[in-house]
Amino acid sequence: MPTKTAGNSTVTWTGMTGGPDVANITANLSQASIDTTNINGTFMKYEAGIVEGTVDVEMFYLKSVHSIGAMTPGTKLAGFTVTLVSGNTITATSALVEQSRVVLAPNGVVMVTMTVRLCDGAVTIA
């Protein structure tokens, strides 16, 4: 289980060991509406569509202690879960790394800033 710091939020995925310290998480979720209005209807009717979104993560870890895998754009992270300080979770079957920035300090601390797109299955918000 990752260390809960910097707001007590965490981010995890399959293959991660040790868990980085998370500085910031921003979840950008949306759900499209689907127009189901009858052809001769007198008012508009809508149903909820598919949940989609991205998650921006800024995290720190020690290269000598943690293993978080590849962070290059195009990498898919299986079993992607965000746990917010409130205890709420956002879980996706996988997340596609769209952007990443990796900075390695001389003391072995690595800072990763990345944007991932939730994909390939259900997105659960609890």
**Token pair in block for residue 65:** 């202690």
Quick one: pLDDT at residue 115? 94
Asked if residue 78 belongs to a domain, the reply is: yes
When divided into structural domains, the chain yields a total of: 1
Confirm whether 4 is domain-assigned.
no
Whether 3 is covered by a domain: the verdict is no
Q: Is residue 19 part of a domain?
A: yes
Q: Report the alpha-carbon distance of residue 110 to residue 56 in Å, rounded.
A: 17
Give the tens place of pLDDT for each residue, 56-98. Answer: 988 887 776 666 666 788 989 888 888 887 788 888 988 999 9
Give the other-Cβ count within 10 Å of 90's Cβ: 22
Q: What is the pLDDT of residue 19?
A: 66
Question: Considering the domain boundaries, does residue 50 fall inside one?
Answer: yes
Residues contacting 24, CB < 8 A, separation 6+: 6, 7, 56, 57, 58
Instruction: Note the pLDDT of residue 2.
Output: 36
Residue 45 lies in a domain: yes
Matching residue, tokens 């910031």: 24
Residue ranges making up the domain that contains 84:
10-125
